[in-house]
Structure 1
Amino acid sequence: MPGGLVALLDDVAALAKLAAASVDDVAGAAGRAGAKAAGVVVDDTAVTPRYVVGLPPERELPIISKIAIGSLRNKLLFILPVALALSALAPWAITPLLMIGGSYLCFEAAEKIWEALSGADHAEQVTTITDPAELEARQVSGAVRTDFILSAEIMAIALAELPGLSLLTRAAALVAVAVAITVGVYGVVGVIVKMDDIGLHLSRRESASTRAIGRTLVRGMPILLTALSHIGVGAMVWVGGGILLHGMEAFGMRTIPHLVHQLAEKCAHAVPLAGGAIEWLVTALGSALIGLCVGGLIVAVIHLLPKRGSKTEQHG
């Protein structure tokens, strides 16, 4: 009996060590994958606050919570299974699907820029919605739809950093990445959108310096939120253009991506003290320019060409 108990304990210890090693593998893989997706995470953080700009302050955190739940649902219920299945059965399909998503991001950003320049803003549609619940549902739906593309990019980048691992380890690592990034992104967004309330609370304290900080936050947060809404549009066109450039390289259409890379390298060599930052900036601007061209083309096809066709029919 004692011998059997010792053997059982040995087996339990061996299983515990194996489980610990598996956890370490998952944690290490998730860390590597999450680091590679950091760029898109920044974009996701910049994009989201614009969906609560102009809405009642008491509904900001509930709306952020709904978007976060939708984001996690996107990652775990839809993107994760499809990504794992495609990586095992049809890895060639991942890049085209990402390019379609990138084109949608470019279109959405270019459409908002066109609306701002032309005055044909969706704000008119928003003001016609008198039901707060309907307006909130509209904002959440738009945010979750945009998040789907960004989440797909995050998960695809993360998946690319997990070669040679078992299917179970990859799945566990992607779950860890999805949860960590969602909590991190929407936690930061929640703090950003409630910073004015924090400032209001600080402005009522006894300390003069604390009150000054509070008043600065109260005055500055509307400006920051508006700026973030514009940064979010820029982030969409940048990320979308970057996806398209990577897709072009994958399909052998390297002329435009190489031009962007070469220009970034030349600019970096011209300013060696800040070479890395300059190279990143030029690459980002090149990606944004490609994204803006593609998005503008889609906007023209969807919005402008039909109008010209209707005018031609009227004149005819």
Structure 2
Amino acid sequence: MAELAYWEALRRAHDEELAHDPLVIAMGEDIGVAGGTYKVTLGLYGKYGEERIIDTPISENSYTGIGIGASMAGMRPIIEIMSINFALLALDTLINAAAKIRYMSGGRAQCPIVMRTPGGTAHQLAAQHSARLSRLFMGTPGLRVVTPSTPLDAYGMLKSAVRCNDPVIFLEHESMYNLKGEVPDEETFRPLEGAGVVREGTDITLIGYNYSVHWCLTAADKLAQEGIHAEVIDLRSLKPIDRETIRRSIEKTHRVLVAEEDEAPVGVGSEVIAGIIEDCFFALDAQPVRVHAADVPVPYNYSLEKAAIPDAKDVYQSALKVLGKV
């Protein structure tokens, strides 16, 4: 086992998949000579050359479209968009082409692309660099949406995504790139479907994805000091959502909280709770609760940014309310 930072795990996955298949390429702004804004492609330009590590112009719709066309011709592009905010510029190619071409061609054309992009708040990057748009991609038929919360999942899920014949939206978080964790020395693949129970418990289910999983784990540690045993679920995949794992957990704990950094309206939490109501309403001993960001553009001011975004303390306090402790 090796301890790798999140960005190092992603870099290793890139390196292995580029070495495995000459049809794998990477495309994006500053990913070549500079090695990427978050160092994910550091050193790969010198190793694989400019025809496989492609520095693109600042034109997300154009190079995403080129990558989609290349995938339909047999290539397997990893398309990096520097911030999920900028993915808005590529929605036409992602939603009208990548998501639909396999269906509209009756399976004769495939689009095996991976679109990697970080979102979420880091440190005063303001509203135009702090979006969380997972709900947008979740609502698009034909796309897979995954969002790893650990270096191991980042490594293994990216490898699986590159070899998948569906278009995969691979969502990261700007605050997790230096997060460290163990990754096996041998080649490892992680599934693109299925949630993980990352902490067993009996009193309440805490559900998170990417960064909010770590809030849930921290809150669970604090709850344990008070004799409360929280189960923590890492969704890992947002499309499809693993409703069966969620159902089994709630039938055990009878209480649930969903934590996310995104705003509440029409969000991941809304979809998860809708599924809970449909699947296991009569197993609930209390109403489901969401912990989420304020419904405002992310402020630049540090104090306002902190006030707008939830954290582990909010998860802990909300869990106590669900349990009737406050």
Q: Greater strand share, 1 or 2?
A: 2
Q: Which has the larger radius of gyration?
A: 1
Q: Greater helix share, 1 or 2?
A: 1
Higher relative contact order, chain-length normalized (CA < 8 Å, sep 6+): 1
> Quick check: TM above 0.5?
no
Q: Normalized against structure 1, the TM-score is what?
A: 0.26
Q: Normalized against structure 2, the TM-score is what?
A: 0.26
